Amino acid sequence: MKNKLFWLFLFITYSTFGQHSVKGIVTSTKTNHPLEFVNVYFPEIEKGTITDENGIFKISNLPSGNFKILVSYLGFQTISKRIQIPLDTELTIGLSPVILQIDEIILSTPFHKLQGDNVMKVEHKKVSELNKIGAINLSNGMTSIPGVESVSTGVSIGKPVIRGLSNNRVLVYTQGIRLENQQFGDEHGLGISSSGIESIEVIKGPASLLYGSDALGGVLYINPEKFANTNTKNADFGIDYFTNTKGYNTNLGYKSSTEKFKVIFRGNLSEHADYKTKDYYVTNSRFKEQDFKSALGYQSTYFTTEFRYNLNASQIGIPEEISIQNRDTKPLLPLQKLNNHIFSSKSKLFLENSSLELNLGYTYNDRKEFEEHHHDHEHEEDVEVDDDEILEPALHMKLQTLHYDLKYNLPQFGKIVSIVGFQGMSQTNTNYGEEYLIPDSNTTDLGILATSHIHFENYDLQLGARFDTRKIDTDEGLNKTFNSFNGAVGIKKDISKKVTLRLNLASGFRAPNLAELTSEGSHEGTNRYEIGNQDLKSEQNYQVDINVEYQSEHLEVFANGFYNSIANYIFLSPDGNVIDNNPVYLYQQEDAYLFGGEFGFHIHPHPLDWLHIENTFETVIGKQKNDKYLPLIPANKLTNTARAEFESNSFKNAYCFISLGTTFKQNNISEFESNTNSYSLFSAGFGSEFNFLKKKLSISVSGNNLTNKTYINHLSRLKVDDINNIGRNINLGLHYTF
């Protein structure tokens, strides 16, 4: 009897999850000629291939169901449509030539729409594009996205600022899970290398519906590199050299895929000396970073799973004053030593016309901070660290976080596609050093959500709701629970063939972090004596976003506007007292609001098919209800770029650009900030791809701040010491795929 039941189960499984193939041809609608090397990809199944010299593709071992197929090729319009598998006939897909850039699939929102089809306006940027403009690291490169800035400590530490909100108000996701690395501190950076990163996405506005607490201001979503296409393998090597810091970033990677198994291995090493301004080297702005990423994937007809691991180890000097002038790369005191371990798994089970997705993650953040007065040479300035000498960290914290996310993609009901699920985390913080900023604690999150996308003939509607609870327990007796209910609704409508309107309304929340609740002592990195407030309430915000886009063959114009109202905004304020030679700052709350937006255009003049002219302007104003300005609000910024693109038999994807970025004065400051002057930075660069030994060799050269301008960015943490930002920097990049 048991054997009969077993064979019956196998028969039902085979019938339900039959193996299918999709075959087709891709051609140009202009010439009717087949197109080679076109990417054909199923984003929900995470399986794809490229077309051969005859434009033909075939993808096998696909489950039954209704899935989205994505067809993309540089210089042609991206096609995204749903097909029912199994197919009775072969696909014939025609791509139309376009001048403006191709659309990308957005992964940070639940329905994986093309950028142009998404109801929410989400910015997407490939890391390869950031490297072309000479970005030293990920936090430096993301500032090229309109509406995104960075709170920086030299060139080594940067924290994302989205429309004036930062720290715990901006949530960072990597490998599909929350990045938890003590992000409450201004001087605590991302701790992620751009090596092995495919792209970044930015949700500008409350995303608590999708991600829970800490997504009140937005989300920085980091997409790891994809696996190789089925039955292919390749290796690559890259190196970037930066003249200003005499520094380099190197990486070496290998990936391979069969029908069922996929692997990726990638290593990175970076090392930089103190950065140079026009007049001096910024002492102890040096840093070193080692990064290792690996991934293992398995794919059957109805089940996919992948496991990823990332180790990032870094030593980061903390600048305090201008003294030693040399080109050494070994950090001085004070310094940070960080080890970030990120484990993640993502699994999908495909049912008949529905699917179940489970993401699990574990992060282990080991943070050590060393200070001069904890060293034997406490009266000497700029103590150099000897690798053979054992130093005891003044601050030593270990943060362990378990993250889980389960979603069920319901069968499509008419025009309605829906997702339900729950997310949560369990987090433990433990102190081992002589000092501590936050106490030993346990934090538990749980959120339940439901969201739907409805496609009508003339517009798309997306809506959802979510309930969250967060519990915080410390060994000092603090026990707090914060609850919140949030929702979002958005509409996208094509006003005409060339004009698209998006309108989104959403709420978000953020529970107070441990530093805000429990601080009692000097925060050495900020030269403040901070006192927490256990009576703080959750921040709650409501934001309205409007986006209008006009796009024709030779012109693209966009305007993004927002208004963000925040109840119980938490901020630090001096009370006039001094303790331990540091001014006392108290955590307080006040209702606040922010408003502004981003505006720009992209011209591709006819008949100059190789020329692109792009201009963007971004602005944000933040105030308390009592009319006082909020701190850390970026200054208005105007960017003008002219870019030329070329193609020939000798080189491919060749380009050159010139750019002038103007940052305006920032006089709208909080009571404990200083204003900053305006400045303009001139940049330029060029690059191309060549065939070398029958493989692809990419070369790029870029220069930033070419006039060696002396300036201070308003969000620089070194501003209080009157230390300038980085001067002229030339980046030489080489990347070879073999």
- The reported pLDDT for the residue numbered 37 is 85
Between 4 and 332, name the one with better pLDDT: 332
Q: Which amino acid is at 504?
A: N
Rounded Cα distance between 634 and 666, Å, is 8
Instruction: Give the pLDDT band (50/70/90) at residue 7.
Output: very low
Model confidence pLDDT, tens digit, residues 603-617: 988 888 789 999 999
3-state helix, strand, coil in the chain (%, to 5): 5, 55, 35
The token pair at 75 is 């210089």
Model confidence pLDDT, tens digit, residues 16-41: 445 788 999 999 888 888 998 888 88
- Among 49-63, 377-391, 569-583, name the one with the lowest average pLDDT: 377-391
Measuring CA to CA, how many Å separate 695 from each of 235, 240, 689, 724, 736? 11, 19, 10, 43, 8
Over residues 426-450, the mean pLDDT reads 93
- The reported pLDDT for the residue numbered 713 is 97
pLDDT at 531 over 70: yes
DSSP assignment of 200-216 equals: EEEEES--HHHH-TT-S
CATH 2.40.170.20 spans which residues of the chain?
131-225+232-737
Highest averaged pLDDT of the listed ranges 116-125, 521-530, 586-595: 586-595
Between 560 and 63, name the one with better pLDDT: 560
Rounded Cα distance between 276 and 442, Å, is 42
Which residues on adjacent β-strands are paired with residue 656?
644, 686
- The reported pLDDT for the residue numbered 80 is 82
- The reported pLDDT for the residue numbered 8 is 43
- The reported pLDDT for the residue numbered 259 is 86
pLDDT at 82 over 90: no
- The reported pLDDT for the residue numbered 438 is 86
Rounded Cα distance between 277 and 159, Å, is 22
pLDDT at 378 over 80: no
Instruction: Give the pLDDT band (50/70/90) at residue 14.
Output: very low
pLDDT at 650 over 80: no
Helix (H) / strand (E) containing 10: helix 2-16
Instruction: Give the pLDDT band (50/70/90) at residue 382.
Output: low
Rounded Cα distance between 705 and 682, Å, is 5
Rounded Cα distance between 497 and 543, Å, is 28
- Among 179-183, 266-270, 509-513, 578-582, name the one with the lowest average pLDDT: 578-582
Rounded Cα distance between 142 and 160, Å, is 8
CATH 2.60.40.1120 spans which residues of the chain?
16-98
Q: Give me the sign of the Cα torsion angle 664, 680, 129, 331.
A: negative
Over residues 287-303, the mean pLDDT reads 94
Model confidence pLDDT, tens digit, residues 314-358: 999 999 899 999 999 999 999 999 999 999 999 999 888 889 999
The token pair at 206 is 């409350």
12: left (phi over 0), alpha (psi -120 to 50) or beta: alpha
Over residues 69-85, the mean pLDDT reads 84
Angle at 103 between CA 100 and CA 108, to 5 degrees: 145
CA-based nearest residue to 529, from 570, 586, 476: 586
- The reported pLDDT for the residue numbered 15 is 43
- Kindly give the residue spans of alpha helices, DSSP state H, lying in 87-206: 127-132, 138-141
- The reported pLDDT for the residue numbered 692 is 87
CATH superfamily, domain at 131-225+232-737? TonB-dependent receptor, beta-barrel domain (2.40.170.20)
* Cβ pair 45, 304 in contact under 8 A: yes
- The reported pLDDT for the residue numbered 101 is 59
* Cβ pair 204, 121 in contact under 8 A: yes
CA atoms within 13 A on the CB side of 574: 13
- Among 74-83, 117-126, 213-222, 478-487, name the one with the lowest average pLDDT: 74-83
Instruction: Give the pLDDT band (50/70/90) at residue 525.
Output: low
- The reported pLDDT for the residue numbered 46 is 78
pLDDT at 182 over 90: no
Read off φ and ψ for residue 155, nearest 5 degrees.
-105, -5
pLDDT at 377 over 50: no
Q: Give me the sign of the Cα torsion angle 425, 430, 436, 439.
A: positive
Instruction: Give the pLDDT band (50/70/90) at residue 390.
Output: low
Whole-structure pTM value: 0.90
Question: By three-state DSSP, how is residue 90 classified?
Answer: coil
- The reported pLDDT for the residue numbered 423 is 96
* Cβ pair 147, 162 in contact under 8 A: yes
* Alpha carbon distance, N-terminus to C-terminus of the chain: 56
- Among 172-181, 278-287, 519-528, 646-655, name the one with the lowest average pLDDT: 519-528
Averaged pLDDT score across all residues of the chain:
89
- The reported pLDDT for the residue numbered 383 is 56
| Cβ-based neighbour number of residue 388 at 10 Å | 4
- The reported pLDDT for the residue numbered 526 is 65
* Cβ pair 308, 297 in contact under 8 A: no
pLDDT at 191 over 50: yes
Instruction: Give the pLDDT band (50/70/90) at residue 561.
Output: very high
CA-based nearest residue to 508, from 127, 170, 91, 84: 170
- The reported pLDDT for the residue numbered 379 is 43
Over residues 166-190, the mean pLDDT reads 89
- The reported pLDDT for the residue numbered 667 is 95
Q: Tokens 């969250």 identify what position?
A: 468
In CATH terms, is domain 16-98 a member of 2.60.40.1730?
no
575: left (phi over 0), alpha (psi -120 to 50) or beta: alpha
Helix (H) / strand (E) containing 516: helix 514-518
The token pair at 424 is 């949560």
Length of the chain as a residue count: 738
Q: Which amino acid is at 518?
A: T
Which residues on adjacent β-strands are paired with residue 539?
510
Between 727 and 52, name the one with better pLDDT: 727
Instruction: Give the pLDDT band (50/70/90) at residue 374.
Output: very low
